Structure 1
Amino acid sequence: MAEDNSTAPHLLVVDDDPRIRSMLKRYFEGEGFRVSEAENGTQLRQQLRDKIDLILLDIGLPGEDGLTLAREIRASRQIAIIIVSGRADDVDRIVGLEIGADDYIAKPFNLREVLARVRSVLRRTQASVAVRPAQTLNAAGITRFDGWTLDHNRRELRTPAGKTITLTTGEFDLLAVFAKNPGRALTRDFLMDQTRGRSWEVFDRSIDAQVTRLRRKIEADDGDSALIKSIRGVGYLFTGRAEHL
Structure 2
Amino acid sequence: MSATIALVDDDRNILTSVSIALQAEGFTTRVYSDGETALKSLIDNPPDLAVLDIKMPQMDGLELLRRLREKAAIPVIFLTSKDDELDEALGLAMGADDYIAKPFSQRLLIARIRAILRRTEHASPALAGQPNEPVALPIERGRLTMDPQRHRVTWAGAPVTLTVTEFLILETLAQRPGIVKTRNQLMDAAYHDDIYVDDRTIDSHIKRVRRKFKQADPEFDAIETLYGAGYRFADD
Picking from 24, 38, 47, the partner of 1:44 is 38
The two structures have a TM-score, normalised by structure 2, of 0.66
1:69-148 correspondence runs (5 A): 69-86=64-81, 88-129=83-124, 131=136, 133=138, 136=146, 142-144=154-156
Change in CA separation of 1:229 and 1:90 when aligned onto 2, cut-off 3 Å: closer
SS at structure 2 position matched to 1:57: strand
> Which one has the largest radius of gyration?
1
Residue in structure 1 matched with residue 199 of structure 2 by the alignment: 201
1:146-165 correspondence runs (5 A): 151-153=159-161
Rounded Cα–Cα distance in structure 1 between residues aligned with 2:206 and 2:52: 30
64-73 or 21-30: which moved more?
A: 64-73
Does residue 34 of structure 2 align to residue 34 of structure 1?
no
Aligned-residue offset at 1:46 = 3.7
The two structures have a TM-score, normalised by structure 1, of 0.63
**For the Cα contact (< 8 Å) 1:57–1:81, is it kept in 2?**
yes
Amino acid at match of 1:30: A
Q: Which runs of 5+ in 1 are unaligned?
A: 1-6, 156-168, 220-225, 241-245
Amino acid at match of 2:154: I
Rounded Cα–Cα distance in structure 1 between residues aligned with 2:189 and 2:201: 17
Q: What count of residue pairs does the alignment treat as equivalent?
A: 203
Rounded Cα–Cα distance in structure 2 between residues aligned with 1:236 and 1:85: 31
Backbone CA RMSD of aligned residues: 4.3
Q: Which runs of 5+ in 2 are unaligned?
A: 128-135, 140-144, 214-218
Q: Percent identity, please.
A: 28
Amino acid at match of 1:109: F
